[in-house]
Amino acid sequence: MESCNCIEPQWPPDDLLMKYQYISDFFIALAYFSIPLELIYFVKKSAVFPYRWVLVQFGAFIVLCGATHLINLWTFTVHSRTVASVMTTAKVLTAAVSCITALMLVHIIPDLLSVKTRELFLKNKAAELDREMGLIRTQEETGRHVRMLTHEIRSTLDRHTILKTTLVELGRTLALEECALWMPTRTGLELQLSYTLRQQNPVGYTVPIHHPVINQVFSSNRAVKISPNCPVARLRPAGKYMPGEVVAVRVPLLHLSNFRINDWPELSTKRYALMVLMLPSDSARQWHVHELELVEVVADQVAVALSHAAILEESMRARDLLMEQNVALDLARREAETAIRARNDFLAVMNHEMRTPMHAIIALSSLLQETELTPEQRLMVETVLKSSNLLATLINDVLDLSRLEDGSLQLDLGTFNLYAVFREVLNLIKPIASVKKLHVSLNLAPDLPEYAVGDEKRLMQTILNIVGNAVKFSKEGSISITAFLAKLDTLRDSKAPEFLPVLSDNHFYLRVQVKDSGSGINPLDIPKLFTKFAQNQSTGTRNSGGSGLGLAICKRFVNLMEGHIWIESEGLGKGCTAILIVKLGMPERVNESKLPYKPKMPTNHGQTAFPGLKVLVMDENGVSRMVTKGLLLHLGCDVTMVGSSDECLRLVSHEHKVVFMDICVPGIDSYGITTRIHEKFTKRHERPLLVALTGNTDKVTKENCMRAGMDGLILKPVSLDKMRSVLTDLLEHRVFFEAI
């Protein structure tokens, strides 16, 4: 600013210049006044401006400068002293303020500069924070996505849903163009395209598994960037400019048996699936680390979810299988129960129904045998009887076997003659053997007890069966039956390891050996012999005519008798030996009375009362004669009947011990006969005793009888007991007169 000291005329000829200066000063003053106003306005607006004091100073400075310039306007013309003094004041002030301001600025400007640097610094910081903020946000977003994906993946146990969801969610999260899953095939040599995001129906693309890129991916558990030209990545239709980046990650497929949580990553033989993710083409996007991490995490989760799904599938399958098996077993059990029930019903019915008619036939045939028959008829009846006996035996065998198996059969123990059993067997088998020209020999050891306690019938049945078999299967040669007491060493036979006999005082072991020289048995067939219904086929196609039950029943009987039975044979054509050991009891008392049980007849006392006593009965009345005869016959007497006195006299002899005479009949002189008999037999001991039978109950008759020389009198009717006592008395006392 220049203070112009020149004395200026009023509008000199340089007033153009003056005018310009005038105007400039004016505008400067204007500006100088308006700037502080603006400053004030802006300071008011910004509350944070820290240097108000500076601004005030500056404002003052500017105002004063403006004032100066304004006052300068008046100095262009002649001006008074006041103006000059004001001008001077103004300038002085202005000078002061400006100096102060200048001084102030020196202090302030570094501050202001440092504010700037601080501002720059803050901006950088803000930018940095923003960046970090963005990172965190993306991470958080990634985490959210992972959680969401995991949730989606794990919310279902269905394999397909899991995989589809994975791809969809991944595609959405990462904004992928294409996402694909390659599963290994059954053979393990190829990868098959199983699921894709965009393509609806993936074609059965396969890629061989031993590709270097694939191997690379499989060998690391990280997501690997692969080239878009790799076979697994060539999924999109070609023709785009710039294919986006592709990342592949392995998805371990866990087998049920391999699923152990601790050594999860270190499993050696693992199958992997390949997940391929492609960024959209023509975008400049790159795979970021967090995205790769997301992909890895997702791949692991998928693996876990798939294994869960696999476990579930497995257990569902197992459960279904079990249910099927249960149903099948149930059915089988029901069928078995039905079969058993049917068999039991059958047995129960057959047991009764079959035996009853058989016995009826046998009983009535034997009754028929005792009637009068022509020889032809007799032959027929005998045949009927034999056949029905055979049939009854067969039925009994079958029913016995079923009872044996049920365990309901019990032995009928009793004392029997052991020797007799063998003799009986021999007698039964001899006819057949002699027809076949086989020689049968029986050898009983001398120390074998004669009597034993056991089931005679079944023992005989067993021995007979064995001997019968020996005869049946021998065409020639001899059969020898030996029986002896089995000692401890012979009992412990290597052939019968499970047979552990126990010796005790009231039992003994009978050992029977039946050796034949017949066709023999193949040693391999021996175990089958004792199974029921199994016929020995190797002996040829000969129809042996048995039911195949015989040996099975024998074995069961022998087992019941706590014994053992087995067959030894050296081979076909070399004969065989059947050995039988049974446990029999010792009888306490070898007593005749314990011998074969005979059905007891009602004891007839009178039967042996007067055996053979010769008696003569004289009675004209046929009926009473018959009655008396019956009486005396019942008492065992030898009765001669006569109907008249002449006959009586003719037939009476000294053999007759008693003569019964009916003296009721008029016309018969009983007394006369008495006399005549007395005459006939002079010797008293030769004479038969004469007894009168009368219905007259008067004393006269009695006296007459006594007088006539009768030895006795009995009143009719005579009861059996009376006759018995009369005879007893008579024979003892030689006289009997009934009290009348």
Footprint of other proteins (CB under 8 A): 356, 359-360, 362-364, 366-367, 370, 599-602, 604, 607, 620-624, 626-628, 630-631, 633-634, 662, 664-667, 695, 716-720
Taking the CA of residue 546 as centre, how many other CA atoms within 13 Å lie in the half-sphere pointing to its CB? 19
Q: Is 470 annotated as a binding residue?
A: yes
Instruction: Provide the 8-state DSSP code for 578.
Output: E
CB nearer to other proteins: give 620 or 647: 620
Taking the complex as a whole, the smallest distance from the CB of residue 685 to other proteins amounts, in Å, to: 30
The H-or-E segment that residue 715 falls in is strand 712-715
Taking the complex as a whole, the smallest distance from the CB of residue 484 to other proteins amounts, in Å, to: 34
Q: Is 642 annotated as a binding residue?
A: no
CB nearer to other proteins: give 657 or 724: 724
3-state secondary structure of 570: coil
CB nearer to other proteins: give 148 or 626: 626
Nearest to 705 by CA among 716, 723, 693: 693
Q: What residues pair up with 416 in beta bridges, in sequence order?
A: 452
CB nearer to other proteins: give 13 or 599: 599
3-state secondary structure of 29: helix
Q: Is 31 annotated as a binding residue?
A: no
Amino acid in position 48: V
CB nearer to other proteins: give 620 or 738: 620
CB nearer to other proteins: give 602 or 612: 602
Looking up tokens 């005979």, which residue turns up? 598
225 neighbors 245 (Cβ within 8 angstroms): yes
Read off the tokens for 498.
């499970």
Looking up tokens 């923003």, which residue turns up? 130
Taking the complex as a whole, the smallest distance from the CB of residue 453 to other proteins amounts, in Å, to: 21
Q: Is 696 annotated as a binding residue?
A: no
By residue count, the chain amounts to 740
CB nearer to other proteins: give 356 or 443: 356
Taking the complex as a whole, the smallest distance from the CB of residue 697 to other proteins amounts, in Å, to: 12
Taking the complex as a whole, the smallest distance from the CB of residue 329 to other proteins amounts, in Å, to: 42
Taking the complex as a whole, the smallest distance from the CB of residue 377 to other proteins amounts, in Å, to: 18
Nearest to 661 by CA among 614, 622, 710, 696: 710
Q: Is 65 annotated as a binding residue?
A: yes
Distances from the Cα of 562 to the Cα of 45, 507, 527, 584, angstroms? 126, 11, 19, 9
CB nearer to other proteins: give 216 or 607: 607
Q: Is 472 annotated as a binding residue?
A: yes
Read off the tokens for 299.
């791949």
544 neighbors 475 (Cβ within 8 angstroms): no
CB nearer to other proteins: give 91 or 629: 629
Taking the complex as a whole, the smallest distance from the CB of residue 435 to other proteins amounts, in Å, to: 27
Provide the b/e sequence for 636-647 (b: ≥16 CB within 10 Å).
ebbbbbbeebee
Taking the complex as a whole, the smallest distance from the CB of residue 408 to other proteins amounts, in Å, to: 16
473 neighbors 535 (Cβ within 8 angstroms): no
Q: Is 69 annotated as a binding residue?
A: yes
Question: Do strands 271-278 and 178-184 pair parallel, antiparallel, or not at all (unpaired)?
Answer: antiparallel
Q: Is 516 annotated as a binding residue?
A: yes
Read off the tokens for 359.
């016995």
The H-or-E segment that residue 274 falls in is strand 271-278
The total of other beta-carbon atoms located within 10 Å of residue 425's CB is 25
How buried is 500 (Cβ within 10 angstroms: 0-12 exposed, 13-18 middle, 19+ buried)? exposed
Taking the complex as a whole, the smallest distance from the CB of residue 529 to other proteins amounts, in Å, to: 33
Q: What residues pair up with 191 in beta bridges, in sequence order?
A: 184, 207
Residue stretches of the annotated binding site: 65, 69, 469-472, 516, 532, 547, 551
